[in-house]
């Protein structure tokens, strides 16, 4: 059976990757002296919070604090998320005539170091300066402003974008079983195809299409102001952890709001207004006091702790809409171009999220702009039915983790054998080890028993098709098979794809 996606974590905006975060404050010690294991647990907690304390080093991330102002214009309100090479913040444009909110992406200083291949700024400028009359232009997350900032860890590229309402993964969570209705999925698909077509015309290949890099546009900016006034931007655990780590370990700024009133933690940094808030039914002052008294016994300053910056945790900011029907006319934008390549110059050979990788990437053949089509097709299926088209896992009952052989077998289950002519373009080592003369993968049973065939495009045995009409299912299957040919030279062009029956009537 196909694996249902249960990861519903809200909000990682454009450019960011999934990450586990610490969600439990350190346990209190029953002794007045912290034990070695308790100290170790606390240090682990500090280093495991979001991007990790070790990210803040020379060449690493810039230590951003609530209230900071960048380029004499953008004031930081809260943290939207983080990725491998950047953190992203909600900021207010202080120079705008009316209240304007933006997303500020601050890259690691590593991206600015000599010799590092970094094309994101160049690509963003190319996308912005292209033909604005192209129908795909408006479906790109465009750069509004960029500048460089010198900080204690180096020089950082900073990019400013429109603030979005949601990413596509969060958008999914509105619907029963996280399955986007057919007519909405058609509209989103058409817009993404236009966005890709525009990018390819500019000589740009995205290479990293996934639900979190597809943003739902905000049609009412006043909702940001409304959300900033909400009282559920941070969980109780987040507030307590940030406050105690700041107060006990670093003596740097942090803010908490208890029962709706802002409490400023005294420090020497004189930071501007804090924005962290707490839900009404959270800890009472007495509970907070008791928790602080206990936890402070094991939270003692330590020379083992790297740096002095307390990480600001990601706020639950993207709850702007209560009803999905307000977005019946959904508008998306394709974002995070940090891993993008030029058509004639590739940033790296290994691209795309693992289970979304195109066959040419899996067999280590050369790839071009058509690799985006395979990647997008897999994402469309995932968002449409809340199921991964391919998961690379041997059987649903045996959690063996990702396996390249199984991933290739699953592709063959859906789309048939790999053409011999195509395999000849791949790595001799990979192809020779994994494929037989028929273009299928050697079947090694090992210790986990016979393999179960997996084809989510079939209706038998898959309940996730229950709300899709037979006509729509047949049209969608034809559309996907035209888009996701194993041999990239056989994939339909975007011009042909938008004329498919499944998208009929959506584009002029």
Residue 450, CA distances (Å) to 395, 441, 443, 445, 453 in order:
9, 14, 9, 6, 10
DSSP 97: S
Beta bridge partners of 160: 104, 145
> In this structure, is the dihedral angle defined by the CA atoms of residues 437, 439, 445 and 449, taken in order, positive or negative?
negative
Would you state the structure tokens that stand for residue 144, as one six-digit string? 């509004």
How many residues belong to the chain? 508
Q: At what angle do helices 371-385 and 470-483 cross, to 10 degrees?
A: 160
Would you state the structure tokens that stand for residue 150, as one six-digit string? 């010198």
Instruction: Count CB-CB contacts under 10 A for residue 27.
Output: 13
Cα separation of 315 and 277, whole Å?
9
Write the secondary structure of 170-202 as one string of H (helix), E (strand) and C (coil). HHHCCCHHHCCCHHHHHHHHHHHHHHHHHHHHC
145-151 and 101-107 as β-strands: parallel, antiparallel, unpaired? Answer: unpaired
Tell me phi and psi for residue 162, to 5 degrees. Answer: -65, 140
Strand locations in 49-111 (E): 69-70, 74-82, 86-93, 101-107
Beta bridge partners of 435: 441
105 is in an annotated binding site: yes
378 burial level (CB within 10 Å; 0-12, 13-18, 19+) = buried
Look up tokens 């794809």; give the residue: 497
Cα separation of 237 and 254, whole Å?
14
Please give the annotated binding residues, written as ranges: 105
Please give the annotated binding residues for ATP, written as ranges: 105
């Amino acid at each position: 059976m196909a694996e249902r996606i249960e990861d519903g974590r809200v909000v990682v905006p454009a450019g960011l990757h999934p990450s586990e975060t610490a969600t439990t404050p350190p346990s209190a010690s029953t002794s007045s002296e912290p034990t070695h294991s308790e100290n170790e647990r606390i240090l682990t907690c500090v280093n495991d919070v979001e991007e990790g304390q070790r990210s803040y080093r020379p060449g690493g991330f810039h230590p951003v604090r609530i209230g900071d102002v960048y380029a004499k214009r953008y004031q930081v309100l809260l943290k939207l998320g983080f990725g491998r090479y950047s953190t992203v913040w909600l900021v207010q444009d202080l120079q705008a005539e009316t209240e304007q909110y933006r997303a500020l992406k601050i890259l690691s200083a590593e991206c600015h170091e000599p010799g590092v291949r970094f094309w994101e700024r160049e690509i963003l400028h190319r996308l912005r300066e292209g033909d604005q009359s192209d129908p795909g232009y408006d479906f790109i997350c465009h750069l509004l402003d960029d500048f460089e900032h010198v900080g204690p860890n180096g020089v950082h590229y900073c990019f400013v974008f429109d603030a979005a309402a949601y990413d596509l993964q969060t958008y999914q969570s509105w619907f029963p079983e996280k399955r986007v209705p057919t007519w909405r999925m058609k509209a989103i698909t058409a817009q993404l195809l236009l966005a890709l077509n525009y990018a390819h015309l500019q000589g740009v290949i995205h290479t990293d299409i996934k639900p979190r890099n597809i943003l739902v546009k905000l049609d009412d900016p006043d909702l940001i102001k409304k959300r900033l006034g909400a009282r559920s931007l941070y969980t109780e655990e987040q507030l307590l952890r940030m406050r105690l780590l700041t107060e006990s370990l670093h003596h740097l700024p942090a803010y908490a709001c208890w029962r709706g009133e802002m409490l400023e933690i005294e420090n020497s940094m004189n930071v501007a207004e804090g924005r962290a808030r707490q839900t009404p039914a959270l800890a009472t002052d007495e509970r907070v006091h008791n928790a602080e008294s206990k936890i402070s016994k094991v939270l003692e300053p330590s020379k083992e702790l790297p740096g002095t910056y307390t990480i600001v945790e990601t706020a639950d900011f993207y709850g702007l809409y209560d009803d999905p029907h307000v977005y019946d006319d959904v508008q998306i934008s394709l974002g995070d171009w940090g891993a993008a390549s030029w058509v004639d110059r590739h940033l790296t050979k290994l691209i795309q999220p693992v289970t979304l990788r195109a066959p040419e990437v899996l067999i280590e053949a050369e790839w071009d702009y058509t690799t985006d089509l395979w990647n997008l097709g897999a994402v469309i299926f995932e968002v449409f039915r809340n199921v991964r088209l391919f998961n690379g896992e041997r059987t649903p009952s045996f959690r063996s983790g990702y396996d390249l052989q199984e991933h290739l077998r699953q592709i063959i289950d859906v789309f048939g054998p790999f053409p011999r002519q195509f395999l000849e373009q791949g790595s001799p080592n990979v192809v020779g080890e994994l494929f037989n003369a028929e273009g299928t993968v050697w079947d090694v049973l090992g210790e986990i028993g016979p393999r179960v065939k997996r084809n989510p495009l079939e209706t038998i045995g898959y309940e996730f098709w229950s709300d899709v009409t037979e006509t729509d299912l047949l049209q969608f299957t034809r559309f996907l098979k035209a888009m996701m040919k194993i041999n990239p030279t056989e994939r339909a062009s975007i011009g042909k794809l938008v004329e498919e029956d499944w998208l009929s009537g959506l584009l002029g």
